[in-house]
Amino acid sequence: MPASTFLPTFSVCILTCDHPEGLQRALQAVAESTMPPHQLIVTDDSSGYATREMMRRDYPDITYLEGPRRCRAANRNRALRAATGSHVLFLDDQTLLGATFLQQMAECIADDHIRRATAGCATPLILTGTEVCQGQRGQPRKPAFLGHPTLDYRRGERLRSVLLHSAVFPRELFAHVAFDEQLAGGYDELELAGQAVQELGYRIELVPSAVNQRSPSARAERPCPASEAARLYVACRRYDRGHRRPVKKALFLMLALPHALGRDLRAAGPRGAGAFYATAGCLWQLLRGSRADVREGAAGASGLGAPLPRD
């Protein structure tokens, strides 16, 4: 397609779980978008039938899929198998799409397509916008040394993370990677962005004016051994991809594991040793799984495979 006529198409995937009222608001916000999406998909991890009945009654033309009911990463992967647009946006029942969000993203993607065609650059692009929650503007954060995503990027610094519910991904990315369903606490999002940038050569650019509204979640995950292990694992993977990889990874583990033990002991006394043991066990399983993937030649190339049949 000539660069001057390229326009992206968006598959908007809305993940929901036991919150039909929030899903209704999210669908209404999509309907008010100045640029209609190419495709709208709802994946439902609800424990009951209220959402399914609402979708069949009130939104029969929207693609509705039963979710795997395992985790949010699995739910996103379920939606991706049905996506047909050139780009994918993930929302949930706590996020309202900004009226001009898709239009702004489409213009940025089209402009970048022209620049790439003119300059002969083949580096693909991920775009991330911002979000507003309770009047506070949120932007992507980078991980600190111990893996918590708490640091602001410096001006001009290369982005390696996104705000998932305000990010637009090329669908072709998911032929090579998927959301890691073993990672808890939202660290699957950070790992996927790291893979895209550091292993596959994608760029991430911020579009500050593209804003979605986010409600505070009543289902926010508390730290647990699985999420703490995911944080440590993703940090290990980040150091694996950097310069002087063995030295940085070894230094990280030498400092991070005693830090985690000390934190658990301070929080729970002697019982904290059990929490640390559980975290260390989860981390060991993740690291073993990563090595197995490398031996099998699947690391960094484990995309989603064939599309699922439509429900």
> What are the tens digits of pLDDT across the range 3-19?
456 789 999 999 999 99
What whole-number percentage of the chain has pLDDT above 70?
A: 89
Are the beta carbons of 67 and 80 closer than 8 angstroms?
A: no
Please report, for residues 83, 292, 294, the alpha-carbon distance to residue 305 in angstroms, rounded to integers and kept in the order given: 13, 19, 18
pLDDT on residue 246 = 75
The pLDDT tens digits for 177-194 are: 999 999 998 999 999 999
Size of the chain in residues: 311
* Sign of torsion over alpha carbons 88, 94, 96, 101: negative
Torsion angle of C-alpha atoms 26, 32, 38, 44, degrees rounded to 10: 10
Q: pLDDT class for 300, splitting at 50, 70, 90?
A: very low
Which one has a higher pLDDT value, 231 or 300? Answer: 231
Q: pLDDT class for 218, splitting at 50, 70, 90?
A: low
- The reported pTM is 0.89
Burial status of residue 19 (CB atoms within 10 A of its CB: 0-12, 13-18, 19 or more): buried
> At CA 226, angle to CA 277 and CA 68, rounded to 5?
145
pLDDT on residue 295 = 45
pLDDT on residue 244 = 60
Tokens standing for 193? 């962005």
Q: pLDDT class for 294, splitting at 50, 70, 90?
A: very low
SS3 content of the chain, % helix, strand, coil (to 5): 45, 20, 35
The gap from C-alpha 125 to its chain's centroid, in whole angstroms, comes to 15
Tokens 């911002």 found at: 130
The pLDDT tens digits for 78-109 are: 999 999 999 999 999 999 999 999 999 999 99
Average pLDDT over residues 41-50: 96
Do strands 125-133 and 167-170 pair parallel, antiparallel, or not at all (unpaired)? antiparallel
Residue 218 amino acid letter: A
For the cut 90, the answer to whether the pLDDT of residue 153 exceeds it is: yes
Please state at what angle helix 225-241 crosses helix 272-295, rounded to 10 degrees. 40
* Sign of torsion over alpha carbons 27, 38, 109, 179: positive
Average pLDDT over residues 273-288: 94
Average pLDDT over residues 29-43: 97
Distance CA 193, CA 205 (A): 12
Average pLDDT over residues 124-146: 94
For the cut 50, the answer to whether the pLDDT of residue 309 exceeds it is: no
The gap from C-alpha 120 to its chain's centroid, in whole angstroms, comes to 29
The gap from C-alpha 37 to its chain's centroid, in whole angstroms, comes to 19
For the cut 60, the answer to whether the pLDDT of residue 150 exceeds it is: yes
Within 10 Å of residue 58's Cβ, how many Cβ atoms? 11
For the cut 50, the answer to whether the pLDDT of residue 139 exceeds it is: yes
pLDDT on residue 83 = 97
Q: pLDDT class for 221, splitting at 50, 70, 90?
A: low
Distance CA 147, CA 135 (A): 27
Are the beta carbons of 8 and 38 closer than 8 angstroms?
A: no
pLDDT on residue 247 = 82
Per mean pLDDT, which range of 84-88, 116-120, 134-138, 236-240 is the poorest? 116-120
Q: pLDDT class for 137, splitting at 50, 70, 90?
A: very high
Are the beta carbons of 128 and 159 closer than 8 angstroms?
A: yes
Q: pLDDT class for 278, splitting at 50, 70, 90?
A: very high
Per mean pLDDT, which range of 57-71, 90-104, 247-261 is the poorest? 247-261
Torsion angle of C-alpha atoms 239, 240, 245, 250, degrees rounded to 10: 70
- Residues in Cβ contact with 228 at an 8 Å cutoff, skipping those fewer than 6 apart: 185, 260, 279, 282
Please report, for residues 42, 83, 96, 225, the alpha-carbon distance to residue 170 in angstroms, rounded to integers and kept in the order given: 19, 11, 21, 33
Distance CA 190, CA 148 (A): 10
